Chains A and B, each alone.
Chain A
Amino acid sequence: MQHGRKRGTKMNNKAYDLASYSFASGEQILVDTNIWLYLFPAPGNPQQSFARQYSTAFSRLVSAQAQPVLDPMVLSEYLNRYCRIEWAANFKEPLHESSMSRIAGKIMMIARSATKVVVILRCRGARHSERVILPQPFGHWFCRRTAALSSL
């Protein structure tokens, strides 16, 4: 996670220990892809140590009323990695560009599953190079499905 005081302000480069960091009310926290991947995971083992650490920190973040922030690039990477996990687990064929046309249908099926989780953020007004501040309750942003979702 990265932090910044206000939108548009410079972020300093100091590293903080996630386990002991004290989140402040209103503080904006840019949550990176790997954390989203564990909080809203593709099919996987429920007993992953990263998931335990990240979710404990995220729970403290929400309790402190800090503001999780999602960058469109992070969202894109989340979708990509979710698809890669589904692909690697279910298909032996390497995911190369040259094989994309043959496997487009399968990729669509996986992407549709992943976008059920993430696309709603775009529908709620995220534009290129804008960061989205997720309101409370944050969870509803991820689980609400809209008509726009099914059109993808």
Chain B
Amino acid sequence: MNNRITIRVVDLIGSPLCISAEDGQKVFDKVLPLLKDGKPVTISFDHVGMVISLFLNVAIGQLYGSFSEDEVKALVRVEGLSGDDMELLKRVVDNAKKYYSNPKGYDAAWQEEGDEDEQ
């Protein structure tokens, strides 16, 4: 029987600020092996004070590079986000699905932007 595992983001990253990619990676690294084992996971954002797109992209959007949309939907539950932050998450998920459906195209586009910065 699969028991749902709850990951409290505040406890995991030691801060109410969900901003840095490094902290987002900690969440991803915790969730990934659980999903590989087929275990359902709840990611709890209770007591989080601030969330930005990048954090969500690294923590959750990145899962779409390893699992199908159906698998993520079936195994991952997110709770504790405000309505606004849930909208942000939805946009991040949409962007993740777009990226993983066309990674070469987006990588090349970002590369062009990076090259322009260096000129």
Which A residues contact B (CB, under 8 angstroms)?
34, 37-48, 50-52, 55-56, 58-59, 62-63, 81, 84-90, 113, 116-117, 136-140, 142-145
Contacts and interface: CB of A to CB of B under 8 A. Distances in A.
B10 interface: no
Given A34-B117, A44-B106, A90-B105, 12 more contacts: A41-B57, A42-B110, A46-B57, A52-B20, A52-B22, A55-B55, A85-B109, A89-B109, A113-B91, A137-B50, A142-B53, A143-B87
Contacts, number: 122
Given A43-B95, A46-B62, A85 B51 contact: no
Contacts of B117: 34
Interface in B53-68: 53-55, 57-58, 61-62, 65
Contact of A56 (B22, B53, B96, B107): B22
Interface of B: 15, 17, 19-24, 49-55, 57-58, 61-62, 65, 82, 84-85, 87-88, 91, 95-96, 98-99, 102-103, 105-110, 112-114, 117
